[in-house]
Structure 1
Amino acid sequence: MFTARFWRETAERAVKSSAQALIGLWALDGAFNVLSVDLKLAGGVAAGAAVLSVLTSLVTSGIGEPNSPSAVRE
């Protein structure tokens, strides 16, 4: 958990989780219109997903490969 590799992989997962949350939000909202996006809601959803992803990486840091946020061992 105290390596650059761990934090790079954690950041990648957080960005992916944020994107997935936004896609889900916009898909459930119906037709996506970039001109009518609620930026406050979208930012909150993306930030919430990123926080949950980082917390998940921290919790699973001791389970999988050393210095990796993954719970899977190779």
Structure 2
Amino acid sequence: MNNVKRPSYQSIQAAAKVLDETGRHHHWWPSSTPDYERLDEIGKDEFEAIVEQILIAAQQADREYLKRRK
């Protein structure tokens, strides 16, 4: 992970809610898909794992960008 800190659970949840709301607004997944808050435990864990990877990738990209600027 290149010394990247794992995002807090609160950050993951906040980002998951934004991703879910944005995805619904743009019809990225079927309307029959339960919203983030109503996912079963496994679905919520999987969605949060995806969001965590996105946040980590963003953090890594920021670090790489800052390294290149030096």
**Same fold flag (TM > 0.5):** no
The alignment's TM-score, normalised by the length of structure 2, stands at: 0.44
The alignment's TM-score, normalised by the length of structure 1, stands at: 0.43
